[in-house]
Amino acid sequence: MSKEIYKWEIIGMVFIILVGSFFHFIFELSGENLIIAGIAPVNESVWEHLKLGYWPLVFFSLIEYRFIKDEAKNLGIAKLLAALTIIATIIVIFYSYTAIIGEEILFIDILSFILGVIFGQIVSYKLMSSSKLPQWTNMLSWILFVGLGFLFILFTFYPPKLPIFKDGVTGGYGIV
Protein backbone atom coordinates (compact mmCIF):
# COMPACT_ATOMS: atom_id res chain seq x y z
CA MET A 1 0.00 0.00 0.00
CA SER A 2 1.36 3.34 -1.00
CA LYS A 3 0.57 5.84 1.73
CA GLU A 4 1.43 8.76 -0.53
CA ILE A 5 -0.97 7.70 -3.30
CA TYR A 6 -3.62 6.85 -0.69
CA LYS A 7 -3.27 10.33 0.85
CA TRP A 8 -3.60 11.99 -2.57
CA GLU A 9 -6.68 9.98 -3.50
CA ILE A 10 -8.39 10.97 -0.22
CA ILE A 11 -7.50 14.61 -0.87
CA GLY A 12 -8.89 14.08 -4.37
CA MET A 13 -12.22 12.87 -3.00
CA VAL A 14 -12.63 16.06 -1.00
CA PHE A 15 -11.38 18.28 -3.84
CA ILE A 16 -13.64 16.74 -6.48
CA ILE A 17 -16.73 16.84 -4.26
CA LEU A 18 -16.16 20.47 -3.19
CA VAL A 19 -15.12 21.80 -6.58
CA GLY A 20 -17.80 19.75 -8.35
CA SER A 21 -20.43 21.19 -6.02
CA PHE A 22 -19.21 24.71 -6.77
CA PHE A 23 -19.17 23.97 -10.50
CA HIS A 24 -22.93 23.46 -10.35
CA PHE A 25 -23.26 27.24 -10.07
CA ILE A 26 -20.38 28.71 -12.06
CA PHE A 27 -22.07 28.88 -15.46
CA GLU A 28 -24.78 31.12 -14.06
CA LEU A 29 -22.33 33.06 -11.87
CA SER A 30 -20.10 33.66 -14.90
CA GLY A 31 -22.94 35.42 -16.70
CA GLU A 32 -23.38 32.31 -18.87
CA ASN A 33 -19.86 32.57 -20.26
CA LEU A 34 -19.47 30.18 -23.19
CA ILE A 35 -15.97 29.14 -22.14
CA ILE A 36 -17.29 28.14 -18.70
CA ALA A 37 -20.13 26.25 -20.46
CA GLY A 38 -17.67 23.58 -21.54
CA ILE A 39 -16.78 22.65 -17.96
CA ALA A 40 -19.92 23.45 -15.98
CA PRO A 41 -23.55 22.32 -16.31
CA VAL A 42 -25.57 24.63 -18.55
CA ASN A 43 -28.89 22.95 -17.80
CA GLU A 44 -30.42 20.30 -15.53
CA SER A 45 -29.81 17.28 -17.79
CA VAL A 46 -28.04 14.20 -16.49
CA TRP A 47 -25.30 14.64 -19.09
CA GLU A 48 -24.49 18.18 -18.01
CA HIS A 49 -24.29 17.10 -14.37
CA LEU A 50 -21.69 14.47 -15.22
CA LYS A 51 -19.31 17.40 -15.73
CA LEU A 52 -19.40 17.93 -11.96
CA GLY A 53 -17.26 14.84 -11.50
CA TYR A 54 -15.24 14.85 -14.71
CA TRP A 55 -13.72 18.34 -14.81
CA PRO A 56 -12.75 18.56 -11.12
CA LEU A 57 -11.14 15.12 -11.56
CA VAL A 58 -9.18 16.48 -14.54
CA PHE A 59 -8.02 19.53 -12.59
CA PHE A 60 -7.10 17.46 -9.55
CA SER A 61 -5.23 14.95 -11.73
CA LEU A 62 -3.07 17.76 -13.11
CA ILE A 63 -2.17 18.84 -9.57
CA GLU A 64 -1.73 15.30 -8.30
CA TYR A 65 0.50 14.27 -11.20
CA ARG A 66 3.18 16.72 -10.11
CA PHE A 67 3.46 15.05 -6.71
CA ILE A 68 2.99 11.34 -7.40
CA LYS A 69 4.17 10.81 -10.98
CA ASP A 70 7.23 8.85 -9.87
CA GLU A 71 5.38 6.62 -7.44
CA ALA A 72 2.07 6.04 -9.22
CA LYS A 73 1.75 3.26 -11.74
CA ASN A 74 -0.92 3.23 -14.45
CA LEU A 75 -1.86 6.87 -13.88
CA GLY A 76 -3.59 7.25 -17.25
CA ILE A 77 -5.82 4.23 -16.94
CA ALA A 78 -6.44 5.02 -13.25
CA LYS A 79 -7.82 8.46 -14.08
CA LEU A 80 -9.82 7.28 -17.09
CA LEU A 81 -11.46 4.52 -15.07
CA ALA A 82 -12.04 6.91 -12.16
CA ALA A 83 -13.93 9.22 -14.54
CA LEU A 84 -15.92 6.35 -16.02
CA THR A 85 -16.73 5.05 -12.53
CA ILE A 86 -18.05 8.45 -11.46
CA ILE A 87 -20.14 8.71 -14.63
CA ALA A 88 -21.47 5.14 -14.42
CA THR A 89 -22.38 5.48 -10.73
CA ILE A 90 -24.35 8.67 -11.30
CA ILE A 91 -26.15 7.30 -14.36
CA VAL A 92 -27.01 3.92 -12.81
CA ILE A 93 -28.29 5.42 -9.56
CA PHE A 94 -30.26 8.19 -11.30
CA TYR A 95 -32.01 6.01 -13.86
CA SER A 96 -32.60 3.20 -11.37
CA TYR A 97 -34.28 5.25 -8.69
CA THR A 98 -36.25 7.45 -11.11
CA ALA A 99 -37.53 4.34 -12.91
CA ILE A 100 -38.77 2.97 -9.59
CA ILE A 101 -40.04 6.18 -7.96
CA GLY A 102 -40.95 8.14 -11.06
CA GLU A 103 -39.47 11.43 -9.91
CA GLU A 104 -36.14 13.05 -9.13
CA ILE A 105 -34.95 13.50 -5.55
CA LEU A 106 -32.18 16.06 -5.05
CA PHE A 107 -30.71 14.26 -2.02
CA ILE A 108 -30.28 11.04 -4.00
CA ASP A 109 -28.73 12.95 -6.91
CA ILE A 110 -26.19 14.55 -4.56
CA LEU A 111 -25.53 11.21 -2.88
CA SER A 112 -24.94 9.53 -6.26
CA PHE A 113 -22.35 12.20 -7.09
CA ILE A 114 -20.56 11.70 -3.76
CA LEU A 115 -20.63 7.90 -4.11
CA GLY A 116 -19.39 8.14 -7.68
CA VAL A 117 -16.42 10.24 -6.58
CA ILE A 118 -15.61 7.88 -3.69
CA PHE A 119 -15.84 4.80 -5.93
CA GLY A 120 -13.83 6.55 -8.66
CA GLN A 121 -11.03 7.47 -6.30
CA ILE A 122 -10.93 3.93 -4.91
CA VAL A 123 -10.58 2.56 -8.45
CA SER A 124 -7.88 5.13 -9.16
CA TYR A 125 -5.96 4.20 -6.00
CA LYS A 126 -6.17 0.47 -6.71
CA LEU A 127 -4.84 0.91 -10.26
CA MET A 128 -2.03 3.27 -9.29
CA SER A 129 -0.97 0.89 -6.51
CA SER A 130 -1.12 -2.30 -8.59
CA SER A 131 1.41 -3.88 -10.92
CA LYS A 132 2.47 -1.74 -13.84
CA LEU A 133 0.43 -2.33 -16.98
CA PRO A 134 1.90 -2.07 -20.50
CA GLN A 135 2.78 1.50 -21.46
CA TRP A 136 0.36 1.50 -24.41
CA THR A 137 -2.61 1.11 -22.02
CA ASN A 138 -1.68 4.35 -20.27
CA MET A 139 -1.14 6.19 -23.54
CA LEU A 140 -4.49 5.00 -24.91
CA SER A 141 -6.16 5.89 -21.61
CA TRP A 142 -4.89 9.46 -21.70
CA ILE A 143 -6.21 9.82 -25.25
CA LEU A 144 -9.63 8.49 -24.19
CA PHE A 145 -9.61 10.65 -21.03
CA VAL A 146 -9.03 13.79 -23.12
CA GLY A 147 -11.54 12.55 -25.71
CA LEU A 148 -14.18 12.32 -23.01
CA GLY A 149 -13.56 15.96 -22.14
CA PHE A 150 -13.92 16.87 -25.81
CA LEU A 151 -17.32 15.10 -25.84
CA PHE A 152 -18.47 17.07 -22.79
CA ILE A 153 -17.64 20.30 -24.59
CA LEU A 154 -19.05 19.21 -27.96
CA PHE A 155 -22.34 17.93 -26.53
CA THR A 156 -22.82 21.10 -24.51
CA PHE A 157 -23.17 23.00 -27.77
CA TYR A 158 -24.45 20.19 -30.03
CA PRO A 159 -26.31 17.69 -27.84
CA PRO A 160 -27.95 14.64 -29.40
CA LYS A 161 -31.71 14.54 -28.89
CA LEU A 162 -31.52 11.69 -26.35
CA PRO A 163 -33.04 11.58 -22.86
CA ILE A 164 -29.68 11.86 -21.06
CA PHE A 165 -29.14 15.27 -22.72
CA LYS A 166 -32.66 16.61 -22.06
CA ASP A 167 -33.11 19.29 -19.41
CA GLY A 168 -35.81 17.91 -17.12
CA VAL A 169 -36.91 21.44 -16.18
CA THR A 170 -37.14 23.21 -19.55
CA GLY A 171 -37.29 20.24 -21.91
CA GLY A 172 -34.46 21.79 -23.91
CA TYR A 173 -31.07 20.46 -24.91
CA GLY A 174 -27.64 22.01 -24.40
CA ILE A 175 -27.52 25.71 -23.65
CA VAL A 176 -31.17 26.67 -23.14
Given its phi and psi angles, is residue 133 left (phi above 0), alpha (psi -120 to 50 degrees) or beta?
beta
pLDDT computed for residue 71 by the predictor:
87
The whole-chain average pLDDT of the chain stands at: 95
- What distance in Å separates the CA atoms of residue 59 and residue 101, rounded to the nearest whole number? 35
Read off the pLDDT of residues 113-166 as tens digits, 9 standing for 90 and up.
999 999 999 999 999 998 888 999 999 999 999 999 999 999 999 999 999 999
* Digit-coded pLDDT (tens) for 78-95: 999 999 999 999 999 999
Whether 176 maps to a domain, the answer reads: no
For residue 29, being part of any structural domain is answered with yes
pLDDT for the residue 1: 60
Q: Is residue 66 part of a domain?
A: yes
48 located within any domain: yes
* Per-residue pLDDT at 139: 93
pLDDT band at residue 2 using 50, 70 and 90 as cut-offs: confident
- The answer, yes or no, to whether residue 69 has pLDDT greater than 90, is no
**Whole-number pLDDT of residue 176:** 67
Give a yes or no: residue 12 inside a domain: yes
3-state SS record for the chain: CCHHHHHHHHHHHHHHHHHHHHHHHHHHHCCCCHHHHCCCCCCCCHHHHHHHHHHHHHHHHHHHHHHHCCCCCCHHHHHHHHHHHHHHHHHHHHHHHHHHHCCCCHHHHHHHHHHHHHHHHHHHHHHHHCCCCCHHHHHHHHHHHHHHHHHHHHHHHCCCCCHHHECCCCCCECCC
- Would you say residue 28 lies in a domain? yes
Q: Does the pLDDT at position 73 exceed 90?
A: no
Identify the domain containing residue 138 by its residue range.
Answer: 3-165
Domains in the chain: how many in total? 1
In a domain, residue 143? The reply is: yes
Per-residue pLDDT of 32-68, as tens digits, reads 999 999 999 999 999 999 999 999 999 999 999 999 9
> Is the predicted pLDDT of residue 99 greater than 80, yes or no?
yes
Q: pTM for the whole thing?
A: 0.94
Is residue 172 domain-resident?
A: no
Task: Find out whether 52 and 41 touch, Cβ atoms under 8 Å.
Answer: yes
